[in-house]
């Protein structure tokens, strides 16, 4: 019987975001593809260490206990530039860590993100910045996972997700005005259009999928008052009053919601993140992520005018890699 992905929250993830591939990447860079293949074959049963997105993925998949096992709420699929043979270590590591991930796309040396629409994916995560930029240029919702020093607290069952607004949940129309005309014109434009929702940004549909799971949690709490919801969503934006109104209006008109909202008006996001402690934070601004990435699992969404050549850095924080083709291990 055909397995239907519609109605599920589907996330694509590269092995570089799920696991720590430092050693195998070094072999590829220093010794080439044949040595890399031999290294992966030799270490096929060596379990890969957890990567930056592992805590997020583990908690997201754990929410499938709210549904029938045959009809899960969440599907995570590996998207990789590895070939099937060298990808075997990734799949064995997934099994060893107990992650319920059974589906994968392995394409030797070629990008897998073009298959996102066919797989109903609302998000693709990779530690390879060039791969992510290619996906975003193709109009797909993708994020570059940045290096962090944070470790996974497995005793914490909650999954906390934080989003910036402009260029992430919404498009960058307001950001374009800010970049071109400054803060006063930006504020005037947003006040004038406060009752009109923004056009959706790259991660609007991902938040919609998260909200569907939150509604399932609400149903569970109605049936069992002792149930404690595990999924919490925060909006963390540089907007302040009066521009906050249009952000909230957009969410409401889209039929979406967040549990918390931080309208910081230029306050350093990193300071807030230390207390909020999300398992993943999505932002389109490199300047914000330079502060959050060291202690908070952070994802750069290279979308819109903020990431045009005049504004973006040559490479994003947490990556020692300039633009160029991805290595198999990075995907």
What share of the chain has pLDDT > 90, as a percent? 77
**What confidence score (pLDDT) does residue 293 get?**
95
- Reading the block at residue 237, the tokens are 């934006």
**At residue 321, does pLDDT exceed 70?**
no
Phi, psi angles (nearest 5°) of residue 233: -120, 135
**At residue 63, does pLDDT exceed 90?**
yes
**At residue 325, does pLDDT exceed 50?**
no
pLDDT band at 95 (very low <50, low <70, confident <90, very high): very high
Any idea how long the chain is? 331
**At residue 139, does pLDDT exceed 90?**
yes
Q: Are strands 280-283 and 159-163 parallel, antiparallel or unpaired?
A: parallel
**At residue 326, does pLDDT exceed 80?**
no
Comparison of pLDDT for 242 and 309, the residue scoring more: 242
**What confidence score (pLDDT) does residue 331 get?**
58
**At residue 315, does pLDDT exceed 80?**
no
**What confidence score (pLDDT) does residue 163 get?**
98
Mean pLDDT of 57-68: 96
**What confidence score (pLDDT) does residue 34 get?**
87
23 vs 178: CA distance, rounded Å: 43
Q: Do the beta carbons of residue 28 and residue 328 sit within 8 Å?
A: yes
Place of tokens 């290096």: 147
What share of the chain has pLDDT > 70, as a percent? 93
Phi, psi angles (nearest 5°) of residue 142: -135, 155
- The model's pLDDT over 209-242, given as tens digits with 9 standing for 90+, comes to 999 999 999 999 999 999 999 999 999 999 999 9
**What confidence score (pLDDT) does residue 310 get?**
61
Name all domains of the chain by residue range, CATH numbers in brackets: 9-146 (3.40.50.1000), 159-307 (3.40.50)
């Amino acid at each position: 019987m055909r397995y239907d992905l519609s109605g599920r929250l589907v996330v694509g993830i590269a092995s570089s975001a799920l696991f720590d591939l430092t050693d195998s990447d070094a072999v590829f860079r220093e010794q080439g593809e044949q040595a890399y293949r031999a290294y992966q074959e030799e270490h096929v049963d060596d379990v890969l260490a957890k990567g930056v997105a592992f805590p997020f993925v583990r908690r997201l998949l754990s929410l499938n206990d709210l549904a029938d096992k045959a009809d899960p709420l969440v599907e995570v699929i590996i998207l990789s530039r590895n070939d099937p043979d060298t990808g075997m270590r990734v799949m064995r590591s997934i099994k060893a860590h107990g992650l319920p991930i059974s589906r994968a796309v392995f394409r030797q040396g070629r990008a897998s993100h073009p298959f996102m629409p066919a797989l109903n994916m609302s998000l693709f995560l990779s530690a390879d910045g060039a791969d992510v930029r290619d996906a975003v240029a193709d109009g797909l919702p993708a994020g570059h996972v940045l290096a962090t020093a944070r470790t996974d607290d497995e005793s914490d069952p909650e999954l906390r997700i934080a989003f910036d607004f402009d260029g992430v949940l919404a498009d960058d129309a307001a950001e374009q005005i800010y970049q071109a005309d400054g803060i006063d014109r930006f504020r005037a434009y947003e006040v004038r259009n406060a009752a009109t929702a923004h056009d959706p940004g790259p991660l609007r549909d991902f938040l919609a999928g998260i909200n569907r799971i939150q509604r399932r949690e609400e149903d569970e709490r109605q049936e069992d008052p002792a149930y404690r919801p595990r999924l919490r969503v925060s909006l963390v934006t540089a907007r302040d009053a009066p521009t906050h109104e249009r952000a909230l209006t957009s969410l409401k008109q889209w039929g979406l919601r967040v549990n918390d909202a931080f309208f910081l008006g230029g306050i350093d996001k990193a300071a807030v993140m230390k207390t909020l402690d999300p398992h993943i934070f999505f932002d389109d601004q490199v300047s914000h992520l330079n502060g959050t990435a060291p202690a908070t699992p952070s994802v750069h969404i290279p979308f819109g005018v903020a990431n045009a050549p005049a504004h973006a850095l040559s490479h994003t924080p947490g990556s020692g890699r300039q633009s160029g083709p991805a290595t198999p291990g990075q995907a």
